[in-house]
Structure 1
C-alpha cells in the first residue's frame, strides 16, 4: 500500500514538472522576439564599453525597404514603414503593423517640412499580441538625446538627431496635428509594452 502511494506521488511530481516545462517553453516562444531584441541590445552595450572610450559611430545597415524604412542602429531596428495609415482606424493600422511600422496619414514625409509621425503599437492588452505588434519598437525607451535615427524614403536616406522623449496619456493626439517649419520625426509606441496604458514618444530633428 505504501509503495503504491509513493508511486502515485512520484507520478504526480513527474507530471507537474512536465507541465511547468511546457508552460515555460510556451512563454519563451511567446516572448521570443522581445527576448532576442533585449539580448542583442545588452550584448551591443557590453561590446561598446569594452572598446575604446571614444564616441562610437554606429553606421546604419542596408534598409529592408528602399521606398520607406526606419533604421535605429542603437537598438538594432531596421523596419519597413507602411505609408499613409489612418491612426484612428484600428483595422487599417493593425494590418499595417503586422508588416512593419506605420506612417500616420496626414503627417509629413521626409522630403517635406513638418513632422513625420511613425508608430508601432497594439490596440489590445492581450498578451498574445505582444510579439506581433510591439516587438519592433520594444526597446524605444533605450533611446536618449543625441542618438541618431535614419529614415530611408524613395531611395534617399535622412538623418535625425533625438532631442526629447516623453510618456503621455493615450488621449494625447495633439502630436499628430502639430505644425512645424522644421523637419522633425516622431516615433510612438504603447507603454509599458504589451499594454495600452500610456504612449512613449521619441522626438528627433533632421540634421
Structure 2
C-alpha cells in the first residue's frame, strides 16, 4: 500500500513538472511573437558600418567591457545580441543569450533609432537564461540612466518617455532631428502576459 501511494505521488509530481515546462515554452513563444508584432512597424534609419574614429578613441578611451546593456537602477546587466534575422525562430534563440538588437535598427553611436527587445517574466518565475531580463522595466522613469557598452565605448542614454501600446500598435513617431540618437527598450507587459507592449524611450546623453 505504501509503495502504491509513493507511486501516485511521484506520478503526480512528474506530470506537474512536465506541464510547467510546457507552459514555460508556450509562454516564451507567445512573447517572441508579440515582440515581433511591434518591431517591423518601427520606422528605421539606414544602418551604416561602424567606424571608430582614431581621434575619438583619444577623446574617449576604449573600455574593456563586452557589448552589453546596463541599468543600475534595476540591478541589470545583460549581453547585447545583434540579430541577423527577423524570423521568430531566430529571434527566440537570440533572446536566450541576452537582450536583442532588432535587425536594421541603428547601432549604438549612430544617429537614428536603436531598438532592443527583451523578455519579461512573472514574479517568482525562475531565472532561466534571460527570460527575466526586462521584468522590472516598468520601474524606469524620466531621467533614469541606461548604458549601452558597444565597440569599446560607453553610451549613456537618459529615459525621456514610457508608453504602453496595444498589440500591433506602432511606436510613437519621433519627429526630432535625424542627427539625434534614440534607444527603445521593448517588452511584453505585464510580466507573464502579452496583453500590451511596454516601450521605454531614451535619448543619448553622453559617449565616453
Match of 2:194?
196
How far does residue 138 in structure 1 lie from its aligned partner after superposition?
Answer: 0.7
Match of 1:79?
78
Tell me the distance in 2 between the aligned counterparts of 1:95 and 1:198.
22
For CA contacts below 8 A with separation 6 or more, give which structure has more relative contact order: 2
Q: Post-superposition, which runs of at least 4 consecutive aligned residues in structure 1 deviate over 4 A?
A: 128-133, 174-179
Give the aligned CA root-mean-square deviation in angstroms: 3.8
Report if aligned partners of 1:116, 1:186 keep a CA contact under 8 Å in 2.
yes
What secondary structure sits across from 2:147 in the alignment?
strand
How far does residue 130 in structure 1 lie from its aligned partner after superposition?
Answer: 8.1
What secondary structure sits across from 2:107 in the alignment?
coil
Report if aligned partners of 1:85, 1:96 keep a CA contact under 8 Å in 2.
no
Larger Rg, first or second structure (1 or 2): 1
Match of 1:112?
110
Normalized per residue, the structure richer in helix is 1
1:150 to 147, 151, 158: 147
Tell me the distance in 2 between the aligned counterparts of 1:176 and 1:106.
17
2:169 to 168, 172, 175: 172
Task: Give aligned pairs, total.
Answer: 156
Tell me the distance in 1 between the aligned counterparts of 2:153 and 2:95.
23
Q: Which runs of 5+ in 1 are unaligned?
A: 1-11, 32-62
Match of 2:58?
none
1:161 to 155, 158, 163: 158
